[in-house]
Amino acid sequence: MFDMHCHVDLIDPMNRFCATAAMLNISILAMTTTPKAYYAETRMLANYSSVNVALGLHPQLVSERKQELAIFDRYAASSRFIGEVGLDFSKRFYSSKEDQIIVFEHIIQSCARAKTISIHSAFADKQVLDILDKYKTTEHNNCILHWYSGSLAQLERAIEMGCYFSINEQMLKSINGTKIIERIPIERIVLESDAPFVAGINKAELLQGSLTRTQDGLSKMKDGAVKNILDYTSRILLGI
Ligand SMILES: [Zn+2]
């Protein structure tokens, strides 16, 4: 099974979580929220072949960490995976809107090709897609919209642009989330936990339970077993 958006560095102890996940046959695309964390995490998890670490600068941290963009640039060329990046125009982070746009646009410009990018788009669905469109990012990279919660019109646009979507258990439980999932072709969907933010997932066993329930929910919704399709798409996005 694949968890395509997980914050292992916010789970203590990270190494045990990753080791148990590997034993449970779960491969993880690990998000980072700052470039400094990326550097530390790639070193700490170098021996875990089931974990790929993505280089990120979370939009909610842009106001305090935007100076780390220089560190981002140092690793951008060598990192195949980018995330978590994006825009968050919810009330709490709206004041950093301008800086978020500058940072995200800079990051997207550096993703010229062959990257897999996990993107946050809370209350900024249109603006995120405008930037991806402007730099034709989806033509040369795999863009995954993580926990998409935007409008159905922008969802259609994202599907047309070739975006992928990582889906978590919480989305399946909400009316808006199910409306969104119903419209996405199954071959554009992968699983995510967004642990530890969703339902307090802090153990690999809990992660396995959540991913399994999400997979089962998707099978029900899409009228057929989806495991093979989800695994296949995840492998493409991870390049394995
Ligand atoms: Zn996240």
pLDDT tens string 16-46: 999 999 999 999 999 999 999 999 999 999 9
Name the residue with tokens 């029900």. Answer: 220
Task: Say how many Å lie between the CA of residue 6 and the centre of ligand 1.
Answer: 7
Residues at Cβ < 5 Å from ligand 1 ion: 84, 194
pLDDT tens string 165-220: 999 999 999 999 999 999 999 999 999 999 998 878 999 999 999 999 999 999 99
Task: Say how many Å lie between the CA of residue 210 and the centre of ligand 1.
Answer: 15
Confidence at residue 113, expressed as pLDDT on a 0 to 100 scale: 86
Helix (H, G, I), strand (E, B) or coil at 182: helix
Task: Say how many Å lie between the CA of residue 7 and the centre of ligand 1.
Answer: 6
Confidence at residue 25, expressed as pLDDT on a 0 to 100 scale: 98
Task: Say how many Å lie between the CA of residue 192 and the centre of ligand 1.
Answer: 9
Q: What band does 101 get if pLDDT is binned at 50, 70 and 90?
A: very high
Q: What band does 112 get if pLDDT is binned at 50, 70 and 90?
A: confident
Distance CA 10, CA 203 (A): 12
Average pLDDT over residues 109-138: 96
What angle, rounded to 10 degrees, do the helices at 204-221 and 175-183 form?
Answer: 60
C-alpha distances out from residue 166 to 44, 187, 199, 217, Å:
25, 11, 17, 14
Q: Report the side by side order of strands in the sheet with 2-6.
A: 2-6, 27-30, 51-53
Domains annotated on the chain, with CATH: 2-238 (3.20.20.140)
Task: Say how many Å lie between the CA of residue 82 and the centre of ligand 1.
Answer: 12
